[in-house]
Amino acid sequence: MAKPPFYQQTVATLFQDLQTTDAGLSTAQAQERLARDGHNALNQQRRTTLVQKFIAQFKDFMIIVLLVAALIAGLTGEVVDAVIILIVVVLNAIFGVFQEAKAEEAINALKEMSAPNATVRRDGAVMTVKSDELVVGDIVLLEAGDIVPADLRLTDVATLKVEEAALTGESVPVEKASAVLTADDLAIGDRANMAFMNSNVTYGRATGVVVATGMQTEVGRIAGMIEAADETTTPLQENLTQLGKSLTILILVIAAIVFVMGMWRQTETWIDMLLTAISLAVAAIPEGLPAIVTITLALGTQRMAKRHAIVRKLPAVETLGSTDIIASDKTGTLTQNKMTVERVYQFGQLQDAHQLTFSTDDRLAQTMILSNDTKMTADGLVGDPTETALVQYQLDQKYPVEQVLADHPRVAEIPFDSERKLMSTIHPLANGQFLIAVKGAPDELLKRVTQVATETDVVPFTAEIKERILTTNHELATQALRVLAFAYRLVDAVPTTLTSETVEQGLTLAGMVGMIDPERPEVAQAVADAKSAGIRPLMITGDHKDTAAAIAARLGIIDAGDQQAVITGAELDELDDDTFAKQVKNYAVYARVAPEHKVRIVNAWQKQGKVVAMTGDGVNDAPALKAADIGIGMGITGTEVSKGASDMVLADDNFSTIVVAVEEGRKVFANIQKAIQYLLSANLGEVLTLFMMTMLGWQILAPVHILWINLVTDTLPAIALGIEPMERNIMKQPPRGRQSNFFSGGVFGGIIYQGLLEGGITLFVYWLALTYPVHAATDLAHADALTMAFATLGLIQLFHAFNSKSIHGSIFTVGLFKNRFFNWAILIAFALLAMTILVPGLNDLFHVAHLDAYQWGIVLLASFMMIVIVEIVKFFQRRVVK
């Protein structure tokens, strides 16, 4: 018969089964169990070696195409061509490995933020041990500020509250007890006598016995499920795969046509035509593209890392640029994750909290400090977020908190409980009397009030005053403020019996405060930026509907009072998946939702064809992070499992960082798109030139010519386009959509007409040189024509690089010489191209002739016409778009 769950077992039964006692295990027992069960740690994600990372880079389809091209080139004697392609492929792999390794280092550094130690009772003595050395049966002592180091069955509880958002998504701390629970199949959030690994103690103290460690804990169980989840491919990976397949088919078809036509014309041997076909195939393959994509992404990740966004995998950078939806947690991401006093009601007036000052004997200030379990440590305030907010508020107001605590030590108390919703403490005064300080929910505390403090005296608590106070309470609540009331009572002696009836009666109301977890100051602008970029921000929170709606309105996510855009988890459960997918556009705020709802939200938007970015920090968020197109983990509050499931980690847990990352992603895509348009139009020009020369029976450019042009133009200039500065208004444009690719937005048409233009101009220069030769001799005329075609085909691509600095914008508006690397790249490429003609010896190696000034003039003028014609076309394109 299976044993009942731990929460249904008595402490005595557990101690017997686990062979432990309240004094704890002996050191020998602990070491024996550690050797048997292993360390108390979650399984690390399987680490890959550098060699494995390197090999994984070669799984990309485009890389495979290049490797095949290198193999064919090598087998047919084009060794230099093969070597250059292999160098490009290897450099691409090295960049990829470097980025993944750097991302792993950053994630591991964030993991070090977890608490490494636990307080236990062993051999009857209290001691500190490493958390990963805890074993089943250990007795663990918890207090406010601790991270629960393993799954515990609580044996002794003193007003313990534990924040379990990592498991349940509920941001409000859960009250704990030690009593046996009899219900079956209780949800994690309802197991009040259990404390779970990686949850946080916010209030009180407790003792518990370890019942599960490592992967046997609730956190470990979910982590095991996540390990088996499938990885999703990014739009960038899909685009590059599609591009690689399309190019492969196109290249094979063109090469086959050239080979067949050459054999049909019988002007060359089959070996020569095979080499020509291979040369044409090499010309068509953008061998520099993988390196350009990798370098562009790598530089983007470095810029993002400086702005607190750590990208774990390179393609995720570009995915961010296509984001339509950003679904974000509220607490800590949109807000500051710390309660703050905003409004104070005192002496019949409601005021801004920071406009007040308090005297040392002010009863409201005293009560806020004294009826409070916050601990002041060297590392800051420790305790329940609501209570620490009260103390921090008084510290900010320069109130002498430590002096008041020292002068009025606590001598008795009635702890808070969920039934009375009050907490009372008793403190001695200098005149021999005692101050009873009470705080709690206004509706409960007002039942016990008989008087109200004024600036000079106390007055009876009349119905009129009560109505005014209730109205103020309602006003604060509608602003999503959490309201606490404070009261006091002076007595001559500490009551002999400490009950609510003897202590919390005949109170004088000192005032009320309204608190909220305020929005981060920079988030409202980030939300506005996201909206102007056509991105829809969503808020997802475990908080109440009114609180979520108020914060969302303050941030600009929804309009004030727009309750139709807010839906709760309970309301979401009433909708089936198909209905929700149809209605999902109606909602921008999700309140009182559990982490499992996030997967439904992701799937519903994806059914609408949207690219979804999803944030999460809990273990239960990991499935949603995996399902989203871009999963974003939290670096500070996030669990190790959620970070491991993410594509990107926010080192500062800040929503505005996501918007920065989206901007960087758009820039990355735009620059890759520029490089693709430049490379493919240039390669199309080369293919057209070779194809038409073959068809017309002209002397064709040799493989060495095409190889050198590719080396000169497909490397440095193309890479330089990948690091172009961001164009203006990039965040004013709508997301490009899931169905878009690198050929969208007029790029495909640009590649076609620009490639035809490059090939046409080159062929025209060749024809002109043959028709109006400088030398009468036929051999010299052909050599001049071939050299001029070679120089034109190379230079026209360098001039076209200036056109490619913007897909549609004029080169005069994007900054002709703003990119210094681009300027140097063009100069170096021009020098490398020119030296093959000008340097004695090299021209013989490349089978080209010297050109005179007249011939160079034709080459330069024809090449420059590329800029003129493309600028004219772009001018009319912009007019049509307008």
Quickly list DSSP for 635-676.
Answer: TTT--HHHHHT-SEEETT--HHHHHHHHHHHHHHHHHHHHHH
Per mean pLDDT, which range of 314-323, 523-532, 627-636, 710-719 is the poorest?
314-323
d(CA 311, CA 236): 15
**End-to-end Cα, the chain, rounded Å:** 76
Average pLDDT over residues 120-131: 90
Give the pLDDT confidence score for residue 187 in this predicted structure. 73
Q: How many of the other CB atoms lie within 10 Å of CB of 47?
A: 8
Q: How confident is the model over 502-519, as pLDDT tens digits?
A: 999 999 999 999 998 888
Higher pLDDT among residues 367 and 654, named by residue:
367
d(CA 17, CA 810): 78
350 pLDDT band, cuts 50/70/90, is very high
Q: How far is CA 627 from the centre of its chain?
A: 14
d(CA 550, CA 516): 10
Residue in the block written with tokens 């080979």: 259
What would the two tokens of residue 53 be? 């990372």
The torsion defined by the Cα of 58, 60, 63 and 65, in degrees rounded to 10, comes to: 120
Higher pLDDT among residues 226 and 63, named by residue:
63
d(CA 595, CA 740): 31
77 pLDDT band, cuts 50/70/90, is low
Q: No. of H helices and E strands in the chain?
A: 32, 26
Burial of 206 by CB count in 10 Å (0-12 exposed, 13-18 middle, 19+ buried)? buried
Contact 65, 285 (CB under 8 A): yes
d(CA 742, CA 313): 20
The torsion defined by the Cα of 297, 301, 303 and 305, in degrees rounded to 10, comes to: 180
Give the pLDDT confidence score for residue 112 in this predicted structure. 44
Give the pLDDT confidence score for residue 400 in this predicted structure. 94
Give the pLDDT confidence score for residue 136 in this predicted structure. 93
Residue 801's φ and ψ, nearest 5 degrees, are -60, -35
Number of residues written out for the chain:
882
Q: How confident is the model over 777-832, as pLDDT tens digits?
A: 777 888 899 999 999 999 999 999 999 998 888 888 877 778 888 999 999 999 99
Q: How confident is the model over 615-626, as pLDDT tens digits?
A: 877 666 777 888
Contact 194, 216 (CB under 8 A): no
Model confidence at 103: pLDDT above 60? no
Per mean pLDDT, which range of 19-33, 116-130, 163-177, 750-764 is the poorest?
163-177
Residue 55's φ and ψ, nearest 5 degrees, are -65, -35
d(CA 385, CA 477): 18
Amino acid sitting at position 629: D
What would the two tokens of residue 558 be? 């929804």
Residue numbers annotated as active site: 329
Give the CA radius of gyration of the chain: 36
Per mean pLDDT, which range of 427-436, 504-513, 659-668 is the poorest?
659-668
Higher pLDDT among residues 161 and 760, named by residue:
760
Residue in the block written with tokens 């044409």: 280
d(CA 383, CA 386): 8
Closest by CA to 682, choosing from 812, 795, 826, 805, is 795
Give the pLDDT confidence score for residue 881 in this predicted structure. 59
219 pLDDT band, cuts 50/70/90, is confident
Average pLDDT over residues 132-159: 89
Element containing residue 532 per DSSP (H, E) = helix 523-532
257 pLDDT band, cuts 50/70/90, is confident
Q: How confident is the model over 721-776, as pLDDT tens digits?
A: 888 888 888 888 888 777 677 777 788 889 999 999 999 999 999 999 989 888 77
Q: How confident is the model over 399-424, as pLDDT tens digits?
A: 999 999 999 999 999 988 767 889 99
Q: Looking at the domain 318-336+520-659, which fold is it? A: Rossmann fold (3.40.50)
Give the pLDDT confidence score for residue 229 in this predicted structure. 47
Contact 315, 240 (CB under 8 A): no
What would the two tokens of residue 225 be? 């499920």
What would the two tokens of residue 870 be? 């493309």
CATH number for the domain whose boundaries are 340-516:
3.40.1110.10
Residue 192's φ and ψ, nearest 5 degrees, are -70, -20
Q: How confident is the model over 677-687, as pLDDT tens digits?
A: 998 899 889 88
What would the two tokens of residue 816 be? 């002709």
d(CA 421, CA 412): 18
Residue in the block written with tokens 């600028």: 871
Show the 3-state SS of 149-209. Answer: CCEEEEEEEEEEEEECHHHHCCCCCEECCCCCCCCCCCCHHHCCCEECCCCEEEEEEEEEE
CA distances (Å), origin 724, targets 237, 545, 734, 821, 822: 22, 45, 21, 9, 8
d(CA 764, CA 762): 5
Model confidence at 237: pLDDT above 70? no
* Architecture of the domain delimited by 234-308+666-724+741-881: Up-down Bundle (1.20)
- Strand 507-516 with 449-453, pairing: parallel
Per mean pLDDT, which range of 122-126, 224-228, 842-846 is the poorest?
224-228
Amino acid sitting at position 717: P
Q: How confident is the model over 434-474, as pLDDT tens digits?
A: 999 999 999 899 999 999 999 888 999 999 999 999 999 98
- Cα 761-766-772 angle, rounded to 5 deg: 120
Which percentage of the chain shows pLDDT scores above 90? 33
What would the two tokens of residue 579 be? 């209905």
Q: At what angle do helices 61-75 and 235-265 cross, to 10 degrees?
A: 30
d(CA 313, CA 405): 52
Q: How confident is the model over 734-744, as pLDDT tens digits?
A: 887 776 777 77
Higher pLDDT among residues 84 and 10, named by residue:
10
Model confidence at 109: pLDDT above 50? no
Model confidence at 251: pLDDT above 90? no
- Give residue 851's region: left, alpha or beta (phi > 0; psi -120 to 50): beta
Closest by CA to 332, choosing from 617, 753, 44, 719, is 617
Contact 126, 141 (CB under 8 A): yes
Across all residues in the chain, what is the average pLDDT?
Answer: 83
Amino acid sitting at position 750: G
Q: How many of the other CB atoms lie within 10 Å of CB of 717?
A: 27
Contact 163, 199 (CB under 8 A): yes
Closest by CA to 66, choosing from 233, 293, 274, is 293
Per mean pLDDT, which range of 204-218, 283-297, 835-849 is the poorest?
283-297
Contact 676, 549 (CB under 8 A): no
The torsion defined by the Cα of 722, 728, 733 and 737, in degrees rounded to 10, comes to: 0
d(CA 130, CA 612): 40
Burial of 35 by CB count in 10 Å (0-12 exposed, 13-18 middle, 19+ buried)? exposed
Percent helix, strand, coil in the chain (nearest 5)? 50, 15, 30
Contact 634, 616 (CB under 8 A): yes
Contact 801, 864 (CB under 8 A): no
Fold agreement (234-308+666-724+741-881, 340-516)? no
d(CA 5, CA 180): 11
868 pLDDT band, cuts 50/70/90, is very high
Residue in the block written with tokens 């880079």: 57
Parse the chain into domains and list their residue ranges.
234-308+666-724+741-881, 318-336+520-659, 340-516
Segments in 217-269 forming alpha helices (H): 218-227, 235-265
- Listed in sequence order, the residues at least 6 apart from 326 whose beta carbon sits closer than 8 Å to its beta carbon are 530, 535, 536, 537, 538, 613, 615, 655, 658, 659, 662
